[in-house]
């Protein structure tokens, strides 16, 4: 915990402290109900994790252990759209009974059009950042997937599970408003035919107001996470409280699942094919 003399203590997340030997004096009591902490020390850093607060206990917010059998990706995306409801605009994609299959088939139908295939190949050659961004996203998520929040002591699993979710969400949301979205909205698809409804549906998903507010909040680390021991709420903070956007943990994960599905489909249909051709 850094001790800055010029910091003005308030109700915010940062405040000052002084140390007398092994005794740490806080300028205010951040958790009146907490009596003990796990302390992690690193060069220039001291982090305290509450040991006896309710939201440090394992709860139903923790992700379930995924089954070993192959998941039904269409069912996963249908459920994600169901969770998001009116937060995303209705489209041919969001209302599909096979959203994952239609996503891949839609991109394949675009790639099968010679004019689109040539324009996409030219765009990806001129903008190698698209392929690099997708590869780095896969790399980042592969590392976070190996993190096991269940391996930490039970009283810290709530914190560890939140870290696990953030490890999934932040890379996905950051790569979105960048090379991937520019590719989807680029002139590479200007000559496409017969796939207008599909492409419009995918693009409109990424134009959802709440989604982009959440994305920008993650990009600028301007968000808060609260839990009542049953479910979690992530708040995209703003200078004006009226402009803040609140989503549940399930909704944030649904945005992640759908975004990753689009990125994966782009990789499988356009990027992998371009590498095989080269």
pLDDT tens per residue, range 81-98 = 999 999 999 999 999 999
pLDDT computed for residue 156 by the predictor? 73
Mean pLDDT of 20-32: 80
Distance of CA 59 to the CA centre of its chain: 21
Band (148; pLDDT cuts 50, 70, 90): low
Distance of CA 20 to the CA centre of its chain: 41
The CA dihedral of 225, 228, 229, 230, to the nearest 10 degrees, is -100
**CA angle, 261 as apex, 115 and 139 as ends, to 5°?**
100
Distances (CA, A) of 68 to 60, 61, 259: 21, 21, 23
Strand-pairing partners, residue 233, are 226, 248
Predicted TM-score (pTM) of this structure: 0.71
Residue 19 makes CB contacts below 8 A (sequence gap 6+) with: 3, 25
Q: Is 192 left (phi over 0), alpha (psi -120 to 50) or beta?
A: beta
Q: Is 90 exceeded by the pLDDT of residue 61?
A: no
Band (51; pLDDT cuts 50, 70, 90): low
Residues 12, 30: Cα–Cα separation, whole Å:
10
Task: Please provide the distance, in angstroms rounded to a whole number, between the alpha carbons at the two ends of the chain.
Answer: 52
Residue spans of the domains in the chain: they are: 73-277
């Amino acid at each position: 915990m850094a001790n800055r003399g010029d910091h003005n203590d308030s109700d915010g997340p940062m405040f000052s402290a002084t140390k007398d030997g092994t005794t740490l004096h806080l300028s205010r009591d951040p958790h009146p109900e907490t009596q003990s902490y796990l302390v992690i020390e690193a060069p220039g850093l001291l982090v305290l994790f509450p040991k006896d607060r309710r939201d440090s206990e394992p709860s139903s917010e923790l992700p379930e252990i995924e089954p070993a059998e192959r998941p039904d990706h269409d069912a996963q995306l249908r459920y994600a759209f169901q969770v998001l409801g009116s937060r995303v605009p209705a489209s041919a994609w969001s209302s599909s009974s096979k959203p994952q299959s239609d996503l891949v088939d839609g991109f394949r139908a675009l790639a099968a059009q010679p004019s689109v295939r040539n324009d996409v190949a030219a765009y990806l050659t001129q903008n190698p950042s698209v392929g690099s961004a997708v590869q780095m996203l896969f790399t980042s998520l592969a590392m976070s997937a190996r993190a096991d929040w269940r391996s930490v002591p039970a009283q810290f699993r709530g914190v560890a599970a939140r870290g696990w979710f953030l490890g999934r969400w932040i890379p996905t949301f950051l790569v979105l408003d960048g090379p991937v979205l520019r590719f989807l909205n680029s002139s590479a698809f200007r000559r496409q035919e017969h796939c207008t409804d599909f492409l419009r549906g995918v693009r409109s998903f990424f134009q959802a107001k709440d989604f982009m507010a959440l994305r920008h909040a993650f990009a600028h680390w301007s968000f808060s996470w609260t839990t009542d021991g049953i479910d979690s709420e992530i708040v995209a903070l703003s200078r004006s409280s009226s402009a803040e956007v609140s989503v549940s943990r399930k909704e944030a994960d649904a945005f992640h699942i759908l975004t990753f599905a689009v990125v994966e489909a782009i990789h499988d249909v356009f990027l992998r094919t371009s590498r095989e051709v080269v």
